[in-house]
Amino acid sequence: MKRWKSLIVCCLAVLIFALPATSPPAKAAPSQATKAKQTKTAEPAHVPAAPIPVEMHAPAGVPESVKLELADVGRILVTNAAKTIMPNVRSKEVVPGNAGGYVANYMEVDASNIRAEVIPSDKPGKYVGSIRYVEHRYECPGTSKAEALQAKCHVAQSRRMNELISYEKGKWHY
């Protein structure tokens, strides 16, 4: 019986030491150098950007939730395409030009002009979504590679993109 009592006392002691103290220990005041360092590395407060407008088209009878979800998916799809497109403005591709010299090329997604359309299916509760946007290809001519990378660019070609996705079981699948 004595062993059980000593075991219980030991377990309680371990438990008491393992629990955090009720009041946190006082921290030392930061020095002037630490304050200056924190001020320099502090990032400005993130200002949320305005949501990307989506031009929505749907026939009568399509639930509002389906339209809103398609608009959200359209924003996500176009934003992801803009982030992952290659070559992009930060990573231009430089190729020899036709008349000598060089041309830097890059692609850019126009996220300011998105059109989404809900197309009803034969089966109830199923839809097809069409998300349309534009990709622009830019050219920057120069006499050398370095000059082409720094040159003023112009739109050389634009192409319309159309992504088709399906809506089943209450969710858009892409």
Rounded Cα gap, residues 172 and 174, in angstroms: 7
The tens digit of pLDDT for each residue in 116-139 reads 999 998 888 899 999 999 999 999
**pTM, 2 dp:** 0.66
- Contacts with 58 (C-beta within 8 Å, 6 or more apart), sequence order: 66, 67, 117, 118
In the predicted structure, residue 24 carries a pLDDT above the cut 60:
no
Of the listed ranges 32-41, 55-64, 89-98, 121-130, the least confidently predicted one is: 32-41
**Predicted local confidence at residue 114, as pLDDT:** 95
- At 61, which amino acid appears? G
State mean pLDDT over 31-37: 48
**Predicted local confidence at residue 45, as pLDDT:** 42
**Predicted local confidence at residue 94, as pLDDT:** 95
